[in-house]
Structure 1
Amino acid sequence: MGKQKEFYDKPLFSIINYITWLLLGGLYFILLNIPLIFFYTLTSYNASLFSIALLFICLIPFGPALGALYSTMAEIVREKDISFTSYFFNSYKTQFKSNFKLWFVELLLLTIFFVDFQYFYLNMSSSGLHIIFLILGIFVLILGLYAFPINCRFHMKLRDIVALSFYYSIKKFYITLLKIIVTLIVLFLVAKIHALLVLFIPSILCFILTIYDKPILLELEKKSSVGTLSASN
């Protein structure tokens, strides 16, 4: 028994575990986003089939899947060990409603800002109004980088999640910059690397962002321990 424990504690075994978890996370995330994959494939072959309404519908599963991935990566960061498949799908199920609600609001705002940006850019570009909607869209995306980790860890109202996301995006501005830089690098790599390696990308990104979120979540957990917040795990 001691030899078995010693084997599981070896760095090589830990590395294999992490590689497996990252691969499984990416695979499950992609499987839960088959509608989005379908949309991407469809419009890649025929750009004239692009539709904002269809894209909106295909993006709906993205939020709950992202929430489950965030929850699972956060558990790995905290505990260093996990029954990955069981934890991922349990998180997907138990947090589906809250992640869906959060994502639907974010997706709706992004869609509105995109439509407005497109309209003013194509019809009134000299007015510069399209820049306002571009900034608003980026702002919503930045809030999302904080909202999902907070939502996956604590039970609270949507407005409180948004308020905390806004607060920490400014208070921890250096973390916000790091998140933006890492996300942009990952998006660049997605366009460059082999298709098979893309399976690792969602998990790697969420894992890195979760590490950046660790001091924020610890701060919120301290508030939770004195009854200010309610932790979900």
Structure 2
Amino acid sequence: MAASAMDGVAATALRSVLHRVQKAAERSGRSADRIRVVAVSKTKPASLVHQVYDAGHRFFGENYVQEIVEKSPQLPSDIEWHFIGNLQSNKVRPLLTGVPNLVMVETVDDEKIANHLNRAVENIGRKPLKVLVQVNTSGEESKFGIDPSGCVELVKHVSTACPNLEFCGLMTIGMPDYTSTPENFKTLVNCRTEVCKALGIAEEQCELSMGMSGDFELAVELGSTNVRIGSTIFGAREYPKKQ
């Protein structure tokens, strides 16, 4: 399919997603403007991201440091980038220096990575970085994230020992089997209750990043404030074919 035809498809798909989020928000008794849609462009070219940008969207996410560092300079500087993949310590500095308009890392899952981010932000001299603590709500060994039982302790560490990080909430991936997803989402909601109690903050001050292409409406109905949508907007991911 020609690029121009694909581009129109992505913009149309974005509008459809935003409409579905609005309806799900209404069902949850909230306004849609309380929910952020992060368009995840993994494996997709910057030109396609630009078309979604031209449709008025500003929140984009990537899973891999190399990809976001390559893409972001090709795109407008008012994009608000979210990093949503597993972050290794040795990639922290390249990520922060390569993407000056990175606004949030959604995947802080232990004290070590929090400390690395905190030091890098200070060394580079950039403004505090917003972070979410990633929780493994499904108990799958293949998933990153802290165990729910350690969630409060990690949040406290970020909030008290990392002055260059701004704790904003919790994130989970959940199981791809959508029949079990509600339990994963409910676990994150329960974690938020515990975190807010421990920090003495209102639940509205603690974001919930949960929900992707297959389950974002359910996530919004259960209280998500941030959904990460990839293939539903950009189409199936394109990986290099193995030789």
TM > 0.5 between the two? no
- Computing the radius of gyration from Cα coordinates, the structure with the larger value is 1
Higher strand share: 2
Higher helix share: 1
